[in-house]
Structure 1
């Protein structure tokens, strides 16, 4: 670890050579300027984007023979060989792709959120969705294949429980991506949207680089570019925040501080919770970026503290009980990229996570401490569109310590350690024109007598520039989740096999995406009590199958100023896991999920209006008063949320949002008492939201030299 830290910090500090200025103009065949063209020197990060007049300019310390690349979606990539000795002007003309078929843009199971041509959503889309409240996780629920249980808040993918989806930052695992959870109170994602410019959300069939996830991977990425200086202020009904970015030479530092306190809010708007100490959170994030001649370094760090206490009704005790939580969480992530000659690239990264949670519930005191590390290194080689190759290695370590104490009695200590390594390799090859194959292997050694080899493959065919199909297949293993592993160590890893078929139709401003999939499970975890406990008996002999279809339609073009998208998911899940004696639809899965999101820009009012309607069919629950299987089922839930963003000026925004405007009262399921009464009946309690609505009002102010810059993309 010491040598890795030295490599990350010392290696990028390169001596800056005398710089050469490159400038010019990019036009099309009709002699019209092209904006947004990506211009860069091959094998380096030196480059620029053309402006609205087609002009570009940047400086480089490179000299001698170099290759200047011009790239724009819909046009042929142009490479120009140069001899860099002094300042140069290079004017070029790009030719359209016309009927030329190049490489497959979409891999089955993978959803891109970013500024790429094949992106399902842009960063702006994902955080201006009504009902998301700036929570990246909540916004992802509006995508096909994703679900969030209302009483939980964590992301679930295609019939998998929340533990089956891993969250990463720049490819490095985050061990605690959510705020602390209390009884039937949904959590939030920990990360601020404005620090992340891209999202790779895989709902299945993902490549050999990622593992320890049976269902999905959410990889958040920071921009590999120096940020412009600015200050952002926010004031809202739940707290305040400030962020500042400073830049000097080839460095930038961004710091984001937020404080949330629900005390004023709970006094104005009541809910079913009897708050003794309303939710408070103080958090800070920082990211330092350094650009070298052929390298880029990201150092990200975050710390947060949460504190809350409340009373609510417990069916188990037949009275109100107190929940008291104090939590501290820290995470550090560093990634370094270095481009070598001949299109070789090295990536190294490391992450360290720490969490300390003190939970008081009724007469119980349950402190929990967690540590986690992830170290990763890889090397990549690219040969144009013909083939790309990746090879790497990584190591994970996690340690969880927990104890359980009743009153003044002696505490019972338990926990687990996880320690494993992995090797991975994958190549992408263009077999013939328009037909691409990705094939990879991942090898896992748990360092405790378990070893796995996981084949992964994806085949894609670009029918023409608008239509493409792809198929993905893969083997995936995952260790026992924390809520089981802390009671029973060394259980065999669970296994899933993925089959995913994708058809996509893309046209400027429109996208249709259809996927059909199947997952086969083995080694799912079971226990002999209604919930995992210290005394429970555990085994890894469960099994299951999930199959379904996902449909996504997005249209930015048909109606001026209107953007909308529609998603539908059919999830047919049958799993024998937990305490179920037979294979059933899991309690956390809705078989049908439908969302429609619409956003309309009203120029006369300088406003953006957004409305979201999300419907989920009924979920199963186990009723001990019934002896039949399958289990009982709740009614479906429907949520209509709205938001309004009003530009007081270009850099000052007033934002209003409200969830569940129709006032529906969904029931997520039921909790039952563990023992029956004298009549043999088990008393029950419905699991419902804490409040019918959540209302948010905020003011956001950006201060920067770029007078067009604002925080609309963060809302």
Structure 2
């Protein structure tokens, strides 16, 4: 009843915002032309520090309204033209702004290698994705990986965090920050519950979501790479505060007067006990969930071209939950997690003369998970029961990981967007897994070197070719991985891309703790892609084939005897022009995949995959009433599930039961009503009410089934609650950081 009431309140708030009258608005209109006074349609005109703006129509004209007053700056940008900033003074009247843009010959008609890649950066224009585009997808919870599930290639896995891409597991997708591997990007896993991201997505100005065929500069990810580029310096100093029932936090970002350095600090704390009292959860939480995070950064320009960036974060989580035991109707399973994590990243880049660039980076992380599994009676008192049925349900473990990486890349830059990259990196990992009185240590030194070049072949034709070498001290094995991409741009602006590559990955610790004599797994990628971007519209079609070699298996012994493949077709269409003030994109993913790995007795469709997935994302900013609304709908056909158990005298794994879950339907809605609390203050301030509902229509989502030890009983894996909600207030001073509050930690 409380959940239904909260849904009605959020919808009423949407309606109130839609009906709220606007006062004191300033109308801004104008005409954007080129050097020969020709209109430039599809030009983006944005009031800096706000989400307010417009796109020019076919005649080059634009118009929008705003409540902002005083000295402001308009940012005008269009593909192939240099971005222009136009100072304006806004009073209680209308204003006309006419601007002439100048061509940027460095970017016009540029060929970009893009097979298997989805770029989102502050350099992307028109219908390309930007970081804000990605993280304002309704229902993402401030997690880039969740946000990118609305893009083609990603599977809708709701019972755990991570990106499952093109038939690959979540472990086969890695995240990289300024070139270094981001270990533990999410808070530690809890059975059946997605955990939030540790790192703030608004640290990044660039996002490259590679669904396959990515650069030789990155490794240890067989399926996908999420490559993140952090912001250099903020535009201005700012402070922030947000208060939501489940999370509170504050931040400060200070830019030096000479605008050559900055420092920042952010802290936030979340405790969901109050929320869980209002919105009943299927698990019985007896602890938390509780999350805490502190972050600090320092950035400084060194010389004319140098940039040094330092980032550090400390996080913790405490979670305890109880669920009914599937093997006994009068018992419960208890899960308790205590997690502590430290992460630091240092990066430096500088030009060495006019044609050489040096990039250095290092990272360190420490993670500790203390997990307690217990059997409880009806009074929630711990029990100790013997027998094979209950062995795995009574365990206390501690996992500790120390990770460090150093990286160096030297690049020679040539005309026509050509470059040669030479680099090396070293990874050190020390894992310690303790269960009761047994200790399982793992230490690995992984050394890698790579060379890659972007080569201009002819007008509109470029090739990228690279080679990556890796050696693991733990496995005692080495690999050489060739990778190549070819791009051809047609005269109408369309581009054809082809890619091939080998991608190696070390087996996960669950295998290596028990068997050290293993080899790298491998995936071979073959990709063909067509992309066309024009007039604030983007079309992307891609087909691929992926072949897996030496996947890890448990039977008849732990080894690399597994194999598999994946093939599919993907579509992405984004349109920011056809419907005024409306931005939307549509994706379709077809996937056919089979795997013989883990405990599978033979090649099966993995339980995390489904053949058909469709997503629709719609965004609209109602400028007259300062209301931003985002909607995301996802459909996916059912996922397979299996009951695989050892049977017979030889103990071979067999499939005793199997089926397909119901189709997945999910509609998420989020939004914000924006206002200013201190209109006469000399500094900018932006405040608002953020709100959202996930699975707004209450569709029953089934992710799979758990089976009893004898296979006679099964229970559906469901989300913690039918719907989830958030509502709260946020404030930002100095610059507009509205989107941070709407998407981070919610």
Which band: TM-score by shorter chain?
Answer: 0.7 to 0.9
Deviation at 1:631, TM superposition (A): 4.0
Task: Write out per-residue CA displacement over residues 545-585 of structure 1, whole angstroms, 9 at most, x where no aligned residue.
Answer: 10001110001111111000011111111111111111110
Partner residue of 1:198? 206
* In structure 1, C-alpha distance between the alignment counterparts of 2:368 and 2:161, rounded to whole Å: 20
Partner residue of 1:145? 153
> Quick check: 1:292 aligned with 2:276?
no
> Quick check: 1:375 aligned with 2:387?
no
Partner residue of 1:494? 521
Give yes or no for contact 2:630–2:671 (8 Å, CA) kept in 1: yes
Partner residue of 2:342? 330
* In structure 1, C-alpha distance between the alignment counterparts of 2:622 and 2:415, rounded to whole Å: 43
Q: What is the DSSP-based 3-state SS (H/G/I as helix, E as strand, rest coil) of the residue aligned with 2:194?
A: coil
Q: What is the DSSP-based 3-state SS (H/G/I as helix, E as strand, rest coil) of the residue aligned with 2:198?
A: coil
Give yes or no for contact 2:572–2:585 (8 Å, CA) kept in 1: yes
Deviation at 1:224, TM superposition (A): 2.1
Distance 1:211 1:652, change over 3 A: same
- 1:549 paired residue among 566, 569, 583: 569
Partner residue of 2:695? 660
Partner residue of 2:196? 188
Partner residue of 2:624? 604
Give yes or no for contact 2:373–2:395 (8 Å, CA) kept in 1: yes
* In structure 2, C-alpha distance between the alignment counterparts of 1:659 and 1:149, rounded to whole Å: 15
Give yes or no for contact 1:75–1:96 (8 Å, CA) kept in 2: yes
* In structure 1, C-alpha distance between the alignment counterparts of 2:246 and 2:141, rounded to whole Å: 11
**Cα RMSD between the aligned structures?**
2.7
- 1:349 paired residue among 356, 361, 367: 361
Distance 1:364 1:307, change over 3 A: same
Give yes or no for contact 1:547–1:573 (8 Å, CA) kept in 2: yes
* In structure 1, C-alpha distance between the alignment counterparts of 2:472 and 2:261, rounded to whole Å: 39
Task: Write out per-residue CA displacement over residues 188-221 of structure 1, whole angstroms, 9 at most, x where no aligned residue.
Answer: 2211122222211110001110111100111122
Deviation at 1:524, TM superposition (A): 0.4
Superposition map of 1:504-515 within 5 A: 504-515=531-542
Give yes or no for contact 1:587–1:619 (8 Å, CA) kept in 2: yes
Deviation at 1:465, TM superposition (A): 4.7
- 2:80 paired residue among 60, 74, 98: 74
Distance 1:227 1:302, change over 3 A: farther
* In structure 2, C-alpha distance between the alignment counterparts of 1:229 and 1:33, rounded to whole Å: 36
Task: Write out per-residue CA displacement over residues 133-169 of structure 1, whole angstroms, 9 at most, x where no aligned residue.
Answer: 2222211100111124111121111110011011111
Give yes or no for contact 2:642–2:655 (8 Å, CA) kept in 1: no
Task: Write out per-residue CA displacement over residues 515-551 of structure 1, whole angstroms, 9 at most, x where no aligned residue.
Answer: 10010011001114xxxxxxx9411110111000111
Q: What is the DSSP-based 3-state SS (H/G/I as helix, E as strand, rest coil) of the residue aligned with 2:150?
A: coil
- 2:503 paired residue among 465, 476, 480: 476
> Quick check: 1:103 aligned with 2:110?
yes
Q: What is the DSSP-based 3-state SS (H/G/I as helix, E as strand, rest coil) of the residue aligned with 2:253?
A: strand
* In structure 2, C-alpha distance between the alignment counterparts of 1:259 and 1:252, rounded to whole Å: 24
Partner residue of 2:276? 266
* In structure 2, C-alpha distance between the alignment counterparts of 1:697 and 1:93, rounded to whole Å: 42
Partner residue of 1:222? 230
Distance 1:630 1:326, change over 3 A: closer
Give yes or no for contact 2:121–2:206 (8 Å, CA) kept in 1: yes
> Quick check: 1:309 aligned with 2:320?
yes
Deviation at 1:624, TM superposition (A): 5.2
* In structure 1, C-alpha distance between the alignment counterparts of 2:369 and 2:227, rounded to whole Å: 25
Partner residue of 1:86? none
Partner residue of 1:210? 218
Deviation at 1:356, TM superposition (A): 0.9
Which segment is superposed worse, 119-128 or 433-442? 119-128
Partner residue of 1:412? 438
Distance 1:76 1:300, change over 3 A: closer
Task: Write out per-residue CA displacement over residues 485-540 of structure 1, whole angstroms, 9 at most, x where no aligned residue.
Answer: 23322411101100011101101311000110010011001114xxxxxxx94111
> Quick check: 1:120 aligned with 2:128?
yes
Give yes or no for contact 1:373–1:396 (8 Å, CA) kept in 2: yes
* In structure 2, C-alpha distance between the alignment counterparts of 1:133 and 1:386, rounded to whole Å: 37
* In structure 2, C-alpha distance between the alignment counterparts of 1:316 and 1:193, rounded to whole Å: 42
Q: What is the DSSP-based 3-state SS (H/G/I as helix, E as strand, rest coil) of the residue aligned with 1:585?
A: coil
Q: What is the DSSP-based 3-state SS (H/G/I as helix, E as strand, rest coil) of the residue aligned with 2:354?
A: helix
Partner residue of 2:263? 253
Q: What is the DSSP-based 3-state SS (H/G/I as helix, E as strand, rest coil) of the residue aligned with 1:157?
A: coil
* In structure 2, C-alpha distance between the alignment counterparts of 1:442 and 1:475, rounded to whole Å: 9
Superposition map of 1:519-530 within 5 A: 519-528=546-555
Give yes or no for contact 2:113–2:486 (8 Å, CA) kept in 1: no
Partner residue of 1:571? 591
Task: Write out per-residue CA displacement over residues 267-296 of structure 1, whole angstroms, 9 at most, x where no aligned residue.
Answer: 111111111112011101111111122200
Which segment is superposed worse, 492-501 or 224-233? 224-233
- 1:176 paired residue among 180, 184, 188: 184
Distance 1:631 1:116, change over 3 A: farther
Which segment is superposed worse, 133-142 or 346-355? 133-142
Task: Write out per-residue CA displacement over residues 584-609 of structure 1, whole angstroms, 9 at most, x where no aligned residue.
Answer: 10011122111101011222321011
Which ranges of structure 2 fall in alignment gaps of 5 or more residues? 1-31, 46-55, 57-76, 84-99, 375-393, 648-653, 677-684
Which ranges of structure 1 fall in alignment gaps of 5 or more residues? 1-25, 38-51, 53-70, 78-91, 406-410, 529-535
Partner residue of 1:532? none
Partner residue of 1:646? 673
* In structure 2, C-alpha distance between the alignment counterparts of 1:171 and 1:97, rounded to whole Å: 29
* In structure 2, C-alpha distance between the alignment counterparts of 1:178 and 1:658, rounded to whole Å: 22
* In structure 2, C-alpha distance between the alignment counterparts of 1:194 and 1:75, rounded to whole Å: 26
> Quick check: 1:463 aligned with 2:496?
no
Deviation at 1:321, TM superposition (A): 1.5
Q: What is the DSSP-based 3-state SS (H/G/I as helix, E as strand, rest coil) of the residue aligned with 2:147?
A: helix
Deviation at 1:327, TM superposition (A): 0.5
Task: Write out per-residue CA displacement over residues 319-354 of structure 1, whole angstroms, 9 at most, x where no aligned residue.
Answer: 212111111001000000011112210001000010
> Quick check: 1:587 aligned with 2:587?
no
Distance 1:186 1:117, change over 3 A: closer
Deviation at 1:629, TM superposition (A): 8.9
Distance 1:95 1:635, change over 3 A: closer
Give yes or no for contact 1:103–1:435 (8 Å, CA) kept in 2: no
Distance 1:316 1:484, change over 3 A: farther
Give yes or no for contact 1:525–1:541 (8 Å, CA) kept in 2: yes
Superposition map of 1:615-626 within 5 A: 615-623=635-643
Deviation at 1:227, TM superposition (A): 4.5
Give yes or no for contact 1:27–1:94 (8 Å, CA) kept in 2: no
* In structure 1, C-alpha distance between the alignment counterparts of 2:454 and 2:513, rounded to whole Å: 39
Give yes or no for contact 1:237–1:697 (8 Å, CA) kept in 2: yes
